[in-house]
Chain A
């Protein structure tokens, strides 16, 4: 026998050993939990979306005066009407697909969403939007807390992050949400073949079932392995999905394609997370130029969402789907010296789906600087919020997910919620 140099066995500790329920059972369970035909796709535009370049108050003279190089000319915007205050609004010229969805009555813009004393930090701002708690943005996310209200046991595939990480939004106490960026990589490999592969998988599954209570950090890592083993086979089914449209070949669109596949294959997922980055447009934002960074962002957003919308429409799944978009903050009204914009305050949210009552919610900011202008803050530099973002969450939890927003959000934020359903 070889001489060992260390203790390689631990003894005498208490542990939970978790056995696996059959995936089919869990899938049935997921369908039975809540109003499971209603899927939520949360879309995060990371970096702080410049709402004024996306939903443009093109008749506001100050919009053009304060953004001499990056304002989009009125003639170029895709006009979509006026809000209830009479502000004429238009979409970025690359959002033609979204205009089609808007005109079909299935896309809502909720203007000036945010909260008091908006954080200008990406990281704190993202945590606030993730937890729904501007005062103490720590701990689990609002959707994680929602998942924790579902009856036990919760199927690990109830939620699905298409990013490589689990965002704070989906951090929960009682369920480890899987991250599945690609279907192909989400499979079990072995150095051997034949029956050895199953032996290895059995062993790895058993190793992962060890959740020692005196080592929560090890239990956490093993739980992420468990979530993998409990979802592998169902996720593999999604790999055979053949969409009805051609999705653009970029990470965002391919994530949406995967989500459509998961819906069509009925793997039991209720909440999806998708994100797309590059919105921190401090420089060379140039929304008017084909090579400007904001133009590229809008192209990616529009083309991906429109393909997804069309695919779901073709499958008859649009009425089962809600896409809810947010970003951690809006941007400064004045452009900076780099044809970009710095960190600002309130931004815009979108809700898209077959059951969404489309339209323009809230009112656009008046971009005139003046102490008598309540739509701005920070000496007129930034857009002040009008709709508390938590009221939108409350509406989604209560009216779409079939949950209790007061319990999930830790307070009643129902008043002032836009009537998007």
Chain B
């Protein structure tokens, strides 16, 4: 490739720079980050509230009805494709569709966004659960809702949804007892005399403190702590956590970091019956470890604020202090983050590399969905590198620039084409408001698709695309070609991949 010499671009204003209402940029930014983007109706609703109140509404979603699943299959919403009965509690493909539907239509977007964050943080893959327990059971422990399960099984994703902005230490404890997790990191086979290190290692390395903050001996001691944290199968009907006292290693466990608030690094010998407290103590200790708060804060910064700018150390310290000061509550941490000057700074807009789930959901919300099935997004998402309920390993997906190989980028472009093709007539009708000139049509489509401002060269490329092939008439027939064509090019552009 030849790099030409840098050229200074001229300011180019084909239409008046105008914001209809103050604050629209920042509301759109908030909804892309704390949600999955928004159509105009949603933007209008949040605009009316104003920024601070919009943040409060996103945070305090308990006041917003959780009725989105009841809308599945209704007209006016994105479609799903069922093979026979739609069964997200036992069919993983249906569970994936249900989650994408929620991302598109939930009125609690931050809850869904944090659910995705925790899914990546406690990355558990369906395939291993299904391999161990069978396909139906795999989907069940990943995605079942208690109300729809004959034994009120709560799938892992429902746990993350429940704790989306809850207490992190309680979430850790619940994750340690989660059926899918006990299969995924082999806790179900962790027994006295033959400890299993998988969960203890990742608890420290990935879920809390981070690599290089602990010693190998901590892993060995941690594995012994969780001996007996296994699975039971009541009435031969379902798997559930069971502390098996007879399988617990009752001896003293020593760590290199403090376990108790008095500084003691030793979990004392306990009777087998009381031994489950070992794990509770260790989980509390790693939640309280001085490396955990800053690590979570940095991870949240990269997820919500920027993957380009470095976080202000003062912000990380403030988030971390909020985390420890509230005894591990996530809601005040998120509140602090979303109201921080760094979050709203114009320089931090469009500085995150969108995850495939974000890209697909945002494009559906912005292009349109009548007659489109989220099922048709699942294959493309896998090729973009993100299959829901199937992270590549326990460290989660490789984020940031790692999403953007040439193959994955082509898949994104081709998904834009697929969606624009599906929404052809819808886009033609939208395009009618821009039929007066190629410039007007480009302006209209860029506006609808909330892309980052285009520079002159790519803007000219869009304009010349509209002009190519004949003189401009603005006829319905021309709009039927060029409006979907523009939607494809904009959603497939590099600019649109940044949120």
Residues of A with Cβ closer than 8 Å to B? Answer: 1-21, 46-47, 120-124, 153-154, 156, 161, 164-166, 176-182, 185-192, 195-196, 199-200, 202-204, 206-213, 216-218, 220-222, 224-228, 230-232, 277, 280, 282-284, 336-338, 340, 342-343, 378
Given contacts A196-B469, A336-B195, A340-B186, whether A178 and B407 have CB atoms under 8 Å apart is yes
Q: Which residue of B lies closest to A332 (CB)?
A: B197
Sampled A-B contacts (5; CB under 8 Å):
A5-B447, A187-B410, A191-B485, A224-B405, A283-B189
Q: Which residue of B lies closest to A342 (CB)?
A: B197
B111-147 near A? 1/0 per residue, CB < 8 Å: 0000000000000000000001000000000000000
For the complex, give the distance between the alpha carbons of A21 and B2 in Å: 8
Contact partner of B406 among A2, A47, A227, CB < 8 A?
A: A227
In the complex, given contacts A181-B407, A218-B498, what are 16 additional A-B residue pairs having Cβ atoms less than 8 angstroms apart? A1-B436, A1-B437, A2-B447, A3-B20, A4-B446, A6-B19, A6-B24, A6-B453, A164-B407, A188-B414, A191-B417, A202-B461, A203-B489, A204-B493, A207-B494, A342-B196
Say yes or no: A195 contacts B469, CB within 8 Å: yes
Say yes or no: B413 contacts A217, CB within 8 Å: no
Say yes or no: A230 contacts B409, CB within 8 Å: no
Chain B proximity of A143: nearest CB distance (Å): 15
Point out the residues of chain A lying under 8 angstroms from B457, CB to CB: 15, 17, 206-207, 209-210
Q: Which residue of B lies closest to A226 (CB)?
A: B1
Point out the residues of chain A lying under 8 angstroms from B497, CB to CB: 221
Chain B proximity of A147: nearest CB distance (Å): 13
Q: Which residue of B lies closest to A340 (CB)?
A: B186
Residues of B with Cβ closer than 8 Å to A? Answer: 1-21, 24-25, 28, 132, 185-186, 189-191, 193-198, 201, 205, 211-212, 216, 219, 307-308, 350-351, 353, 383-385, 392-395, 398, 401-411, 413-414, 417-418, 420-421, 424, 433-434, 436-437, 439-440, 443-444, 446-447, 450-462, 464-465, 468-469, 481, 484-485, 487-489, 492-495, 497-498
Say yes or no: B410 contacts A228, CB within 8 Å: yes
Chain B proximity of A284: nearest CB distance (Å): 8
Chain A proximity of B180: nearest CB distance (Å): 15
Say yes or no: B12 contacts A15, CB within 8 Å: no
Point out the residues of chain B lying under 8 angstroms from A232, CB to CB: 410
Say yes or no: B11 contacts A179, CB within 8 Å: no
Q: Which residue of B lies closest to A170 (CB)?
A: B405
Most buried by B among A181, A195, A216, A284: A181
Say yes or no: B489 contacts A207, CB within 8 Å: yes
For the complex, give the distance between the alpha carbons of A218 and B455 in Å: 11
For the complex, give the distance between the alpha carbons of A340 and B464 in Å: 61
Point out the residues of chain A lying under 8 angstroms from B194, CB to CB: 336-338
For the complex, give the distance between the alpha carbons of A212 and B21 in Å: 30
Chain A proximity of B348: nearest CB distance (Å): 11
Point out the residues of chain A lying under 8 angstroms from B307, CB to CB: 217
Say yes or no: B408 contacts A164, CB within 8 Å: yes
